[in-house]
Amino acid sequence: MREIRQLVKVNSLLRRLFVIVPQALAVVTALIATAFVLYLMGRNPWEIYYIMLFGSFGDIYSLGATLTQATPIIFTGLGFMVAFRSGLFNVGLEGQLYLGAFAAAYVGFTLTFLPPVLHIITAIFAGALVGGLWALIAIIPKIKTGAHEVITGLMLTYVAILLTSYLVNYPFKASGWAPYSPFIAESAQLPRILPPTQLSFGWILAIIFAGFVHVLLNRTTIGYEIRVVGINKEAAVSAGININRTMILAFTLSGCMSGMGGAIEVLGVHRRFIDLFSPGYGWDGIAVGLLGNLNPIGAIFAALLLGALRAGGSSVQMITGLPLDIVTMVQGIIILFIAAPMLYRSFIKKIGENRYDD
């Protein structure tokens, strides 16, 4: 009897492990495909991947860069995940991130009378609030007229990027030629935890929030409602769940996460708002959410991987001159492979379960 129980335990562990098989395969295939492209271009893919690996984990500087890059995309990834779990696509993460970042910077350089910790909390809260409100604008039309949240989210992203660009080029431009806002007060700066790298306390906040989202989704009524609405709307109705309210809540929370990511990037890394500062952290959130198998803890690992790609990609750019955009390409290929779970279905038919089955 005990042996059987043990066997069952091992089996369930294996099942859990096999859940990440499609994700792992997607990453490996994407790297192979990119290596092939590099080879066709006459570059040595091994050399480039070696530089990339060293540039992401090779020494303390690289490690700091990897973790710094991973911080905002944990937040956007969590944001994508919360919305996706309720059956919605938040692809306006990039815009919410920009506005959240600006709101945090604004609090950072105006409300200078606040004491240190309170100032940080206020700034992060402002970022979350503005990000959430921007997401709210994208989701309300969905409820009212059925306008797809993907399209409103995307349009609002363009507006948000242009709007922050206007704010930092005109009313809130610091002296000098570059489109920067003034620096935030010292009381609003998140402490750096691995000098001389830019890694800030924001990294720890990101881990804490991943845990928070995990609890929210799996241990609370709201999380339960979000998951039920995502899986089966009819079941949700008969369970007495208010679908519209739940969707609005999940989507707004998603925007809050993204806005918070932007806020923490400003408070921890740049210490001011820089025009067009994001290299696409919002888009990374989509990849992180999917690669993390829609699991908040998975998001941390996925963000580490993508952060490592970005940090390593910067080294590659410095050493070989290959543009950093190669990282975005790899991400795109990863998403394409994750999009098609049937590709791997024959591998994992029996042992793995798949979340994208509808």
**DSSP strand E in 6-139: where?**
none
Residue 35's SS3 state is: helix
- Bridge partners, residue 200, by sequence: 192
Q: Interface with another protein includes 136 (CB under 8 A)?
A: no
| CA 91 to each of CA 46, 149, 215, 242: distance values in angstroms, whole numbers, following the listed order | 34, 8, 24, 24
14, 339, 347, 353: residue in contact with another protein (rule CB under 8 A):
339
The least CB distance from residue 282 to another protein, in Å, is: 11
Q: Interface with another protein includes 182 (CB under 8 A)?
A: no
Q: Interface with another protein includes 309 (CB under 8 A)?
A: no
Piece of the chain touching another protein by CB under 8 A; list 9-17, 44-52, 223-231, 337-345? 337-345
244 Rama class: left (phi>0) / alpha (psi -120 to 50) / beta: alpha
For another protein, how many residues bind (rule: CB under 8 A)? 50
Cβ neighbours around 170 below 10 Å, total:
9
Q: Interface with another protein includes 25 (CB under 8 A)?
A: no
Nearer to another protein, 216 or 338 (CB): 338
Nearer to another protein, 188 or 250 (CB): 250
The least CB distance from residue 250 to another protein, in Å, is: 16
Q: What does the DSSP assignment read for 118-149?
A: HHHHHHHHHHHHHHHHHHHHHHHHHHHH---H
Kind and range of the H or E element at 277?
A: none
Q: x-or-dash pattern for another protein, window 139-158, by CB under 8 A?
A: --x--xxxxx-xxx-xxx-x
Nearer to another protein, 111 or 150 (CB): 150
- Bridge partners, residue 180, by sequence: 274
Piece of the chain touching another protein by CB under 8 A; list 126-134, 235-243, 285-293, 295-303? 285-293
Piece of the chain touching another protein by CB under 8 A; list 96-104, 199-207, 237-245, 281-289? 281-289
Q: Are 210 and 73 a contacting pair, CB within 8 Å?
A: no
Instruction: Give the single-character DSSP code of 81.
Output: H
Instruction: Give the single-character DSSP code of 182.
Output: P
Q: Which of 314, 349, 305, 323 is nearest to 30 (CA)?
A: 305
Copy the structure tokens of residue 323: 């543009």
Q: Interface with another protein includes 28 (CB under 8 A)?
A: no
Site for another protein in 288-307 (CB under 8 A): 290
Q: What residues make contact with another protein under the rule CB under 8 A?
A: 41, 89, 91, 141, 144-148, 150-152, 154-156, 158-159, 162-163, 165-166, 169-170, 280, 283, 286-287, 290, 322-323, 325-343, 356
